[in-house]
């Protein structure tokens, strides 16, 4: 018996190797990294997904355990330089730990950006964040000033990590170790690192899109994180066309055959971050001028933006391409498809066209994208006559830029199709000093900037109301996306997509409301029917005045959202229905069964809409050309 209990020499060697690994500084760093990444998830979960976490407690426990596996690629990639030092037996333990702390600092910065950015985008940051950082219109210092407390917290946390050095500092193997032991440990280390980087033995490496295979759909966003999403999207991955639905059941080709000689001008005003909530707050009048304009306009009360970021706005409004791909269309491999935007359509009808934005030229790739798809005249901060009006953040403040825009319109050859995208209601809210004193703050962080934009629009309309072209112009006020809210409906439910769509015709100053569901992709098709243009165009949108059975479809972090107000359907990325509910008069959610004629209609429409959207973009068929669509 004593002989049987005795450990064999081979077992002793394996045990010594394992003991050497477990007592090494490398193992301390690996274990600390796993714990560290679990802690980094908490801010996102507590701030943005508290209801999901507490509503799915057992699923959260499951998500927690899966996160040990999901974090392996993050540890392998981000801590790569440190693992190389350990692999080669670096005895500079202090240097090793400084490298470890530096990488933790980078991950905390990325997580801080992710948590702060999420309310604006509704998604985690990805590799495109580096394009945003390098964007000529972006300034880092205003953000650091606004989030100084995060900077302080990150620095304190980094110092605390530095003080946690572990009780022992040992290398994986000493120089006295045999060559065989060194090779064996090095081989185990490299194989483990390779498997971790790939996330297992799958044919393809683990990416954020795979998280849904392991965790509850409502906790995908929590389990994922900014650092993981960044290296998941670092390569330009081809989108995959779904297998559900049909590719050509929906009629997205528009043929305008009659035309008209009495062509209307168009002025399309896109207000940064103007959520519909801001127009309807019961105890606050954030937008008194817009409110007065609504009294003599046609208002589409249920317009839902397909995206949560400004970069998703131009394709949606000007090409009728809503945000359904995982990446935004402008940053995707498909932005160079042969789609033609509204500016190109109107230029073919003899219109003078223009797009104005007070930000730096090159901001969010607007200029290059719009020009590539049909625009001729783009006006950015470079074309603005007085560079001293720069607000120190994003560009020229709205009051000054709208005043400049009014002068520009007065010199346009009629008919014209012109659009302007404001910027002062974007963080860090570059408001002129005199308005910071006169305009009231609250209830939200951006409320003063919304009041400022409203005041600027009032001055703009006052300046142009007596111009000869004014009454022959159709004015539209909408938004790129929604923004900050404390109301749960506008934070988490479909309210986070709810934007205004106000159509003002000075020749018919009559209040009219249209309650059918629509999207910003419907704006241009609606205008096309009113301006008298002629020709063919391709867009997923429709004339919002006559599209009584419309269903809005958009993509969020976890699923596709379909809205036919007051009915809402969530459909998983696999095409299976997840949740079906109705919004009551108090904006509460009433869950419904996944049955019935309305559910079936919405579900079938969603499957066909998504499939046709992917098929058309991936096969470069977003074109009115019959030759292209017949290939």
Binned at pLDDT 50, 70 and 90, residue 270 comes out as: very high
Pick the CATH number of 265-547 from 3.40.50.20, 3.30.310.50, 2.40.70.10, 3.40.720.10: 3.40.720.10
15-53 exposure pattern, b = at least 16 Cβ within 10 A, e = fewer:
eebeebbebbbbbbbbeebeebbeebbebbbeebbeebb
Give residue-wise pLDDT tens across range 556-577: 878 999 999 999 999 999 999 9
Dihedral Cα 265, 266, 267, 269, nearest 10 deg? 170
In the prediction, which pLDDT does 146 show?
Answer: 79
Give residue-wise pLDDT tens across range 579-629: 999 999 999 999 999 999 999 999 999 999 999 999 999 888 998 876 555
pTM over 0.85: no
Binned at pLDDT 50, 70 and 90, residue 1 comes out as: very low
Do 392 and 165 contact (CB within 8 A), yes or no? no
User: Apex CA 283: angle with CA 281 and CA 285, to 5°?
Assistant: 65
Query: 181 to each of 29, 165, 187, 379, how far by Cα in Å?
Result: 22, 26, 10, 67
Give residue-wise pLDDT tens across range 275-326: 999 999 887 889 999 999 999 999 999 999 988 899 999 999 999 999 999 8
Phi (first) and psi of residue 569, to 5 degrees: -130, 130
In the prediction, which pLDDT does 136 show?
Answer: 65
DSSP annotation of 504 reads E
Do 422 and 358 contact (CB within 8 A), yes or no? yes
**The pLDDT of residue 631 is above 60:** no
Neighbours of 350 (CB within 10 A): 12
Binned at pLDDT 50, 70 and 90, residue 217 comes out as: low
Return the closest-CA partner of residue 415 out of 469, 463, 465, 348: 469
In the prediction, which pLDDT does 236 show?
Answer: 55
**Ranges for all domains in the chain classified under CATH 3.40.720.10:** 265-547
Binned at pLDDT 50, 70 and 90, residue 3 comes out as: very low
Give residue-wise pLDDT tens across range 18-53: 666 677 788 889 999 999 999 999 998 888 888 878
Helix (H, G, I), strand (E, B) or coil at 300: strand
In the prediction, which pLDDT does 126 show?
Answer: 77
């Amino acid at each position: 018996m004593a002989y049987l209990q005795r450990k064999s020499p081979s077992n002793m060697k394996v045990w010594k190797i394992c003991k050497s690994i477990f007592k090494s500084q490398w193992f301390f760093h690996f274990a600390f990294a796993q714990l560290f990444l679990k802690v980094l998830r908490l801010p996102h979960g507590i701030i943005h997904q508290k209801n999901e976490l507490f509503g799915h407690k057992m699923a959260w426990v499951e998500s927690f355990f899966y996160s040990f596996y999901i974090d392996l690629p993050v540890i392998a990639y981000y801590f790569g330089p440190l693992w190389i030092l350990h692999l080669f037996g670096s005895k500079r333990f202090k240097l090793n730990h400084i490298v470890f702390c530096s990488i933790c600092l980078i991950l905390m910065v990325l997580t801080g950006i992710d948590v702060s950015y999420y309310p604006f985008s509704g998604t985690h940051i990805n590799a495109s964040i580096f394009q945003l950082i390098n964007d000529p219109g972006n300034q880092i210092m205003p953000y650091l000033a606004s989030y100084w407390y995060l900077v302080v917290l990150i620095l304190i946390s980094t110092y605390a990590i530095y003080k946690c050095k572990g009780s022992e500092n040992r290398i994986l193997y000493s120089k006295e170790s045999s060559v065989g032991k060194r090779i064996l440990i090095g081989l185990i280390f490299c194989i483990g690192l390779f498997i971790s980087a790939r996330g297992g033995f799958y044919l393809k490496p683990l990416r954020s899109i795979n998280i849904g295979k392991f965790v509850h759909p409502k906790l995908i966003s929590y389990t994922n994180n900014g650092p993981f999403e960044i290296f998941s999207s670092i390569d330009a991955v081809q989108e995959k066309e779904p297998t559900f639905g049909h590719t050509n059941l929906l009629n997205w080709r528009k043929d305008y055959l009659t035309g008209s000689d009495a062509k209307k001008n168009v002025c399309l005003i896109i207000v940064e971050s103007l959520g519909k909530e801001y127009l309807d707050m019961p105890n606050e009048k954030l937008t008194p001028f817009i409110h007065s304009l609504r009294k003599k306009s046609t208002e589409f009360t249920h317009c839902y933006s397909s995206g949560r970021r400004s970069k998703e706005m131009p394709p949606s409004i000007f090409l009728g391409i809503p945000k359904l791909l995982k990446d935004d269309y402008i940053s995707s491999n498909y932005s160079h498809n042969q789609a033609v935007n509204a500016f190109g359509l109107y230029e073919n009808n003899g219109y003078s066209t223009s797009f104005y934005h007070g930000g730096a030229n090159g901001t969010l790739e607007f200029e290059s994208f719009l020009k590539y798809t049909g625009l001729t005249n783009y006006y950015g901060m470079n074309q603005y006559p007085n560079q001293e009006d720069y607000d120190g953040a994003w560009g020229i403040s709205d009051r000054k830029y709208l005043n400049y825009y009014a002068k520009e319109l007065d010199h346009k050859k009629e008919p014209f199709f012109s659009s302007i995208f404001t910027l002062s209601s974007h963080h860090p809210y570059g408001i002129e000093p005199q308005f910071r004193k006169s305009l009231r703050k609250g209830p939200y962080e951006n409320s003063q900037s919304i009041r400022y934009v409203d005041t600027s629009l009032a001055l703009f309309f006052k300046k142009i109301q007596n111009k000869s072209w004014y009454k022959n112009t159709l004015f539209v006020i909408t938004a790129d996306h929604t923004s900050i809210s404390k109301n749960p409906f506008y934070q988490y439910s479909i309210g986070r997509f709810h934007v205004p769509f106000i159509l003002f015709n000075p020749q018919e100053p009559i209040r009219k409301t249209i309650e059918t569901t629509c999207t910003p992709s419907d704006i241009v098709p609606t205008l096309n029917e009113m301006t008298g243009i002629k020709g063919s165009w391709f867009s997923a949108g429709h004339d919002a005045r006559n599209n009584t059975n419309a269903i809005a479809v958009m993509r969020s972090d976890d699923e596709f959202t379909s809205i036919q107000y007051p009915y809402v359907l969530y459909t998983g990325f696999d095409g299976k229905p997840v949740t079906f509910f109705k919004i009551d008069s108090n904006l509460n959610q009433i869950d419904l069964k996944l049955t019935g004629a309305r559910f079936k209609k919405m579900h079938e429409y969603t499957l066909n809409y998504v499939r046709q959207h992917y098929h058309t973009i991936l096969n470069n068929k977003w074109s009115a050309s019959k030759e292209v669509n017949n290939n």
